[in-house]
Amino acid sequence: MTTDPRTGPPPFGDERETLRACLEYHRTTLAMKCAGLTDEELRQRSMPPSTLSLLALVRHMAEVERAWFRRTFEDGRAPMVWSDSVDFQAAYDDSGSDRAEAFRAWEAEVGTSRRIEREAPSLDVAGFQPRGEKEVSLRMVLLHVLLEYARHNGHADLLREGVDGVTGA
């Protein structure tokens, strides 16, 4: 992880541009934390009894992207990626998964989320969040997902350091 592929938010961007850039920064951070690792290294867990691994985080964030963008703004009945119910913990069972499968699902959901955000006429567009059974704005969804990434990228920092000692950004 010697080069940093991330682009930070604009110092004076408008609200939407800033939210979008911050979210992209954190999406790229998660991918960066996983760069150069084997499937086995991506599955390495932090410490018992935790089932958290970098691969599990990628799978979990695919579920988060689907739940908060696709299910909120397009299809409230869309199935989750790895769970028959809305069980975000199911993504942590990465035993039968590999990098290709996890990243393919995550990248597809990120692509859908980006499209939904870009096509929305404003941040005030309302969607129905089936899990919370309430209407939410695109603004709130962007902030929620951004906070999810920020939280889990902190976990990714610790996981990556445990795998090969790499620290930073």
- pLDDT tens for each residue of 16-64: 999 999 999 999 999 999 999 999 999 999 887 888 999 999 999 999 9
> Does residue 44 fall inside a structural domain?
yes
> Does residue 9 fall inside a structural domain?
no
> Does residue 93 fall inside a structural domain?
yes
The rounded percent of the chain whose pLDDT value lies above 90 is: 69
CB atoms within 10 A of CB 50: 12
Any idea what DSSP says for residue 69?
Answer: I
> Does residue 143 fall inside a structural domain?
yes
CATH number, domain of 150, equals 1.20.120.450
**What distance in Å separates the CA atoms of residue 53 and residue 42, rounded to the nearest whole number?**
6
Global pTM exceeds 0.75: yes
pLDDT under 70: residue ranges of the chain: 1-2, 86-95, 169
Predicted local distance difference test score (pLDDT) of residue 39: 94
Q: How many domains does the chain have?
A: 1
> Does residue 34 fall inside a structural domain?
yes
Q: Is 163 buried (19+), middle (13-18) or exposed (0-12) by CB count in 10 A? A: buried
> Does residue 1 fall inside a structural domain?
no
The 3-state DSSP class for residue 37 equals coil
Range of the domain at 156: 15-164
> Does residue 62 fall inside a structural domain?
yes
